[in-house]
Structure 1
Amino acid sequence: MAVNTRVRPARDATAGPPLRRLGFLLVRRRRLVLSLALAVLIGAGVLAAGAVPRLSLARFEAPGSESDRAQAELIERFGTGSPDMIFLVTAKNGTVDDPAVEAEGRELTARIGREDGVAESASYWTRGKPATLRSEDGRHALVVVRIPGDADHVRGQVLPRLVPEITQGAGMLQVRAGGGEEVFRQTVPLARQDFVRAELVVFPLAFVLLWLYLRRAMAALVPILAGVFAMVIGLALLSGVLQFAEISTFALNLTLAMGLGLGIDYCLFLIQRFREETRRGADRASAVAGAVEHAGRTVLFSGLTVATSLAVLFALPFDFLRSFAYAGIAVVAGGLVAAMIVLPAVLASIGGTMLPKRVRPEREAGFWHGLATRVMRRPLVFGGLATAVLLLLASPFLGLRFGVADDRILPLEAPSRQTQEIVRQSFPAEETDAIQLISKNTASGDISQYAVNLSQLPGVAQVDSAAGSFANGRRVGAGDPARFQGEGAWLSVVPSAAALADDPVRLAQSVRSVAPPFEVLVGGYPAELSDYRASVVDRLPLVLALMLGVTFLVLFLMTRSLIIPLKATLLNVLSLGVMFGAIVWIFQDGNLSGLLGFTPTGTLDASIPILMLCIAYGLSMDYEVFLLSRIKEEYDRTGNTEEAVATGLQRSAPLITAAGGILALTFAAYATAEVMFVQMLGVGMAVAVLVDATVIRAVLVPSLMRLAGPLNWWPSRVRDRGTTPAR
């Protein structure tokens, strides 16, 4: 069959749907479009380079919560607050109680307190030698440090200078840095290295897979370049957002991962449609216009679906999660520009290099057509079996336990991880993660009895107050009015290491349940975790409702059907269940931890599953849109649901499988990361994409559409013919 590759004006260039007219316009103005695209890319590259250093370091906080107000009161009224970091001091010889070691420890504490940016420094030796700041074997003691300011100031300015200076070691002491701020300071560069390393692997592998599918080097290269274009445009758009909002540095990682995946996906669909139009005898201009008209409409709906799925993160009052909404929407916009504007101009210019060297006749009844036909003959059998398997894979999700990230997201060789391991194993209590109880007004009441009651709670190692220190209902130390009194009073509830490792949220709830002699605000790490988790979980129904509702509306606008969006929603929820089942089984329960090289904690941070929920739902619906668009196109042509499903699957499934495989590869490469957050995102997203692009699309979509029959297209006009009874 001869292929017409010439570009010539078409008589219908000004007629037809808007997207078709756009395609012809891009063909006519291809040189101008490509010149502008190059100029935009250069300008965007400059903006993108300037945006990266301005990305922020975020904390897991619940603004306006009780714990947030408590921390503000503690700083304002008492000039103190929760420690931001610790220094673990080890006696090289003897114990920390030896006079020479004590003298050096006091000097170290004072020296840290004099450092720029440090507001407060206290230690085992300056606080009257409490057991909570001394290891059980006497070899280690803690210096607790408070550094005011946001995460960028603490992690970006103070710690890089403070930590090397203090930990260089001298005299009788060995000093190590730890604590939450130091842990997450070390997390950021490791996460960046993980993504860079993964991208270096993904790019060549993606090129090879694209070449194996498209069989032309240029056709394989262009989608990858489109992915790069999407990344750069996405980062450039973020530079504008940074004028009025903070964006987490972790959003850069999402931009890189999604930019490549979506750029490849969108371009693949237009290139495939361009090839189909050419194979049917269209000249190059008409083939480009046809690709923009049909595949372009699908890409637009797909982009809208992904963007709206991520936009629901704006409903959460956390800058960390909102950052991913900004980044995701920006990179989708970049992908749409690359596929809908730049690629048609490229096809018009060098489209011949995108075509297969040998044209094969289009097959109406290949493997996928036969599979769909077999599934639709027995939809209950195939659909029921596939559903049972997916529900089994999703079942670990029922054991989900929310917690918070700690040092164990880092590899074992990370210095702050090693510090925290010593603290966890050697100290009986967690002084740095104490719960603080701050009087709302001037305190009046029996503080000592209140402290006694608190000290009797399971999981409480000690309660410190102006009236004394108490453990197990008994006074074990003198009070410290200078520390705990001022405009009112406050108490410090020190948890045991075991209680903090087991369930800090339950501990915070127990402390809040004890009746105080005066009104109090409850703060400190366990309370912050409790408030943060409650804020996330409480808004989860709203996030789900918005996500399901908005994507349902988008699919309704595309299909003009109420049944198909409902079916698509149910199937995507099922694929999400499999993804969550996988991350619970692997990352919470610890299966495959040896292979992947991480340490399970028995819980999952609430932020990451919600982020994965929005990303995975959008990408899953992405493939649903691609498949349904071809099925609807065939149904509009034939009026027969079964034939439309079989033909639509035959024409779209190879492409969906290839695109899904490449996108899954993109995410799966992050399983080699050193930071567990990155591993979880990569593995979970890869599982979701693979399940969605295979079992969901190849088995459950045909079986459910066969069972629904003519109702698939309700309330639009139904005109099915030739259906057979379902079994």
Structure 2
Amino acid sequence: MQLTGQTGTARPPADGPPGRGLLYGVGHACARRPWRVIAVWLLVLLAAVAADRAWGGAYGDDFDLSGTPSQTGADLLNAHGARGSRGVAAQIVVRSSEGSLASHREALTSAQGRLEELPRVVSVVGPPGAPGAVAEDGRTGYYTVRFEETPAKFEKAYLDRVDDAVRGLRADDVTVEYGGPLGQLARPASADRASEVIGVGTAVLVLLLGFGSVAAAGFPLLTAIVGLLTGLSALGLLAAQFSFAAVSPTPATMMGLGVGLDYSLFLVTRHRKLLHTAATPAEAAARTVATSGRAVLVAALTVTAALGGLFASRVGFIGMLGLAAGTAVLVGALAALTLTPALLGLAGRRIDRWHVRPPVDEPDDPGDIWYRWAAAVRRRPWTFLVLGLLILGTLAVPVASLRLGHIDAGASPASSTERRAYDLTAAGFGPGANGPLTVVVTLDKDRPTTTEQRTTLAEGLHDALVTTPGVASATMPGPTPDGALLVSTVTPDTGPQDRATADLVHRLQDEVLPRTLSPQGATGYLTGGTAGQLDFRDVLADRLPHVVGIVVAAAFVLLLAVFRSPLVALKAAVLNLLSIGAAFGVVVAVFQWGWGASLLGIEETVPVESYVPTMMFAIVFGLSMDYEIFLLSRVRETWLQTHDNHRSVASGLAGTARVITCAALIMTSVFLAFLLSSSVVVKMLALGLGISVVLDATVVRLLLVPAAMYLLGRANWWIPRWLDRLLPRLDPEGAHPAPPAENAPGRVRETR
């Protein structure tokens, strides 16, 4: 067998000298006219912030699961006017400090009347008159307040009006706590601002220590902050037109700040190197954008493509999270490619004038620590390859016990009103009362039923429900106002996030309801918040392979088109999957197994939130490709000049190791700073993303990538001729490889 292909030999682009193209022109223009560029960005930022304040939208956790039992059941309830089905429900839990709630009847009735008068309230049902609204001990009860839309989206000022409505109860010595989306509205101000300050502060320290120059530290920070504020304002304007999850600003902030710092840092580092040989600072900035800027552009497109792959889940909630983060990434990249060269042009050759220690540049000395590291890996590539694989494999072991679920209010801080409402409900009514299930039964239109037959059906269903293991109680199924449906409320023995509750939902939906109802020509559906979350989990679990396949395929094709090497693209995809598996393993060990969870302020073990693996995969895969692209761009640049694989790998690793390490430290600090959040889901994302960046910048970039490229040798740059002709050329500023002659040294021929 004979494999014939080619390796890259450079030829100048058709439009002029090498390196002079679109990105070169952008960099040169921005550096020549810095004040214009800075003024434009300031105007864009001010306009975006003002527009967001005036017309920006709100965020809320609304998602559609068309075709699932929970969504079908909810649609049936709305269509047939079932009592209490309209609007979004929230709970207000009350508990008498002394005696029963009956002794507070007047205050309870007055509070209900005042709640009904609030704007956007559809209905209020609660003690003392509502059946089941008071626990057996007589001291605990709850109002069910239905709003026109989720109160989680309301302004904080709305909560003051709710407080006023229940003030009489509190004055009457009754404890009042808010649950559900009303409890979400009552959450304290987010810790995101503190996280951002910590991330920025750490970035300043890392940049000053790593590069010594005040300007080299300040320019990336300024660029990242401008890009982040602009991106978040743009996201707010998008939220006025589209539905974004409540958590959307957090991943957008993480990604916008992290990649904004990284992209600008890579440009500043390359510019300082090129200043030594460029005729003018503007020329150095132009060449910087034409070389490292190309890597930034490709990296940003790769990250955005990975985030866009979330739409393959066909769940709008998840896709819009990807859009939120992708918006911040694109704005951050645009700021890096335009505002950074403007600042560099403004600084001129005085960029290192202010420094805290002698400024550090990209190494040229073969005695530099990173050259010595590259030489060590070259001497023992198999050792380093096996070591890296063992590290990632060990960390990935916990993934085998991954359990997806929904993290309920029981995992919220004990100081929050939603956690106190959850605990009061669990103590008074049982843990399952925090996640009741609604059974909706439709009757066969072609088989008319008498009142007696419906009664028999309802009694048989009730008996089947109450005798099902895991059911604490079930109400007698009753008809909707039009008589088209039968509705029953089932209370599980266990809380919403317990595995036993998920098992119960599947048992009822897949076994109990079909067995009981099918002989009567009826169909049953389980709906409600808990059932909906479990359907959401199952849908995402089924579609995660689609997301993985599309994201990996898109990244593979993009890398193939950029680096013209099937092996390089395949290696990048495989190694990134390994690092993602290791990050997942750490998340499972901490949150499911509880290893070190108390250090993060988590009081109990929890399942992994259903959408976290999908979201983490897209973000981590995109970020992993970031560093891969920065490293491989420098390796390929040297390869096109020398056609020496060993020298190319060593030069690329040494040239990017310091900046990748600093960038990784900065991004890790940005992510881990969000561990301060009160949201367990945000903590989960923060830890997973932070660990993934550490693994990617150390184990993958310093061990696995150079070891694999040393072992592959010249095969790294082999590509079949037919594939080279077929692929588009995503090399806007670099040289385009030309096919070598038949006996040229670049020819790679393998015979077996």
Q: TM-score, normalised by structure 2?
A: 0.84
Which residue in 2 is equivalent to 1:259?
Answer: 256
The 10-residue stretch of structure 1 (634-643 or 653-662) with the greater mean CA deviation from structure 2: 634-643
Which residue among 407, 410, 421 is the counterpart of 2:409?
407
CA contact (8 A) 1:93 1:172 kept: no
Residues 50 and 134 of structure 1, relative CA distance in 2, 3 Å threshold: same
CA shift for structure 1 position 591: 1.9
1:126 matched to 2:129? The reply is yes
Q: Deviations over 1:218-238 (max 9, x none)?
A: 221111010012113313433
Partner SS, residue 553 of structure 1: helix
Question: Where do 1:483-494 residues align within 5 Å?
Answer: 486-494=483-491
CA contact (8 A) 2:152 2:184 kept: no
Which residue among 460, 466, 478 is the counterpart of 2:471?
460
Partner SS, residue 475 of structure 2: strand
Question: Where do 1:139-218 residues align within 5 Å?
Answer: 139-151=139-151, 161-166=161-166, 169-170=169-170, 174-187=174-187, 189-190=188-189, 192=190, 194-218=191-215
1:93 matched to 2:95? The reply is no
2-structure distance, mates of 1:156, 1:329: 28
CA contact (8 A) 1:211 1:217 kept: yes
Residues 106 and 511 of structure 1, relative CA distance in 2, 3 Å threshold: farther
1-structure distance, mates of 2:657, 2:524: 61
CA contact (8 A) 2:59 2:248 kept: no
2-structure distance, mates of 1:628, 1:521: 53
1:84 matched to 2:89? The reply is yes
Q: Determine which structure has greater relative contact order: mean sequence separation of CA pairs < 8 Å that are 6+ residues apart, divided by chain length.
A: 2
CA shift for structure 1 position 117: 3.8
Counterpart of 2:470, as a letter, is G
Q: Deviations over 1:309-345 (max 9, x none)?
A: 1111223344433333222222222222222122222
2-structure distance, mates of 1:211, 1:434: 55
Q: TM-score, normalised by structure 1?
A: 0.87
Which residue in 1 is equivalent to 2:460?
Answer: 449
Residues 700 and 168 of structure 1, relative CA distance in 2, 3 Å threshold: farther
2-structure distance, mates of 1:500, 1:633: 52
Gaps of 5+ in 2: 1-15, 721-738
Which residue among 293, 298, 307 is the counterpart of 1:296?
293
Residues 499 and 206 of structure 1, relative CA distance in 2, 3 Å threshold: closer
Partner SS, residue 87 of structure 1: strand
1-structure distance, mates of 2:333, 2:528: 45
Which residue in 1 is equivalent to 2:71?
Answer: 68
CA contact (8 A) 1:589 1:600 kept: no
CA shift for structure 1 position 281: 5.4
CA contact (8 A) 1:167 1:174 kept: no
CA contact (8 A) 1:284 1:351 kept: yes
Counterpart of 2:183, as a letter, is V
2-structure distance, mates of 1:484, 1:156: 36
Residues 641 and 504 of structure 1, relative CA distance in 2, 3 Å threshold: same
CA contact (8 A) 1:641 1:720 kept: no
CA shift for structure 1 position 720: 8.1
CA contact (8 A) 1:47 1:235 kept: no
1:568 matched to 2:572? The reply is yes
Counterpart of 2:430, as a letter, is P
Partner SS, residue 498 of structure 2: helix
2-structure distance, mates of 1:499, 1:342: 49
Which residue in 2 is equivalent to 1:3?
Answer: none
Which residue among 412, 436, 439 is the counterpart of 1:437?
439
Partner SS, residue 119 of structure 1: strand
1-structure distance, mates of 2:218, 2:58: 30
Partner SS, residue 144 of structure 1: strand
CA shift for structure 1 position 181: 1.3
Partner SS, residue 494 of structure 1: strand
Counterpart of 1:488, as a letter, is L
The 10-residue stretch of structure 1 (673-682 or 578-587) with the greater mean CA deviation from structure 2: 673-682
Partner SS, residue 296 of structure 1: helix
2-structure distance, mates of 1:308, 1:720: 36
1:509 matched to 2:506? The reply is yes
2-structure distance, mates of 1:153, 1:276: 49
Which residue among 629, 632, 636 is the counterpart of 1:632?
636
CA shift for structure 1 position 680: 1.8
Residues 104 and 281 of structure 1, relative CA distance in 2, 3 Å threshold: closer
Counterpart of 1:377, as a letter, is R
Which residue among 59, 84, 87 is the counterpart of 2:62?
59
CA contact (8 A) 1:219 1:354 kept: yes
Q: What's the C-alpha RMSD, in Å, of the aligned pairs?
A: 3.0
2-structure distance, mates of 1:352, 1:45: 34
The 10-residue stretch of structure 1 (508-517 or 624-633) with the greater mean CA deviation from structure 2: 508-517
Which residue in 2 is equivalent to 1:8?
Answer: none
> Identity, % of aligned pairs?
27
Counterpart of 2:697, as a letter, is A
CA shift for structure 1 position 206: 1.4
CA shift for structure 1 position 284: 2.0
The 10-residue stretch of structure 1 (199-208 or 681-690) with the greater mean CA deviation from structure 2: 199-208
1-structure distance, mates of 2:72, 2:154: 20
Residues 283 and 308 of structure 1, relative CA distance in 2, 3 Å threshold: same
Q: Deviations over 1:232-257 (max 9, x none)?
A: 33134335534542233432223332
Partner SS, residue 497 of structure 1: coil
Gaps of 5+ in 1: 1-11, 467-480
Partner SS, residue 411 of structure 1: coil
Residues 714 and 449 of structure 1, relative CA distance in 2, 3 Å threshold: same
Which residue in 2 is equivalent to 1:380?
Answer: 382
CA shift for structure 1 position 169: 2.4
Partner SS, residue 413 of structure 1: coil
Which residue among 240, 243, 247 is the counterpart of 1:246?
243
Counterpart of 2:253, as a letter, is L
CA contact (8 A) 1:117 1:158 kept: no
Counterpart of 1:228, as a letter, is I
CA contact (8 A) 2:399 2:585 kept: yes
1-structure distance, mates of 2:280, 2:107: 84
Which residue among 301, 304, 310 is the counterpart of 1:307?
304
CA shift for structure 1 position 650: 0.5
CA contact (8 A) 1:656 1:693 kept: yes
2-structure distance, mates of 1:286, 1:115: 64
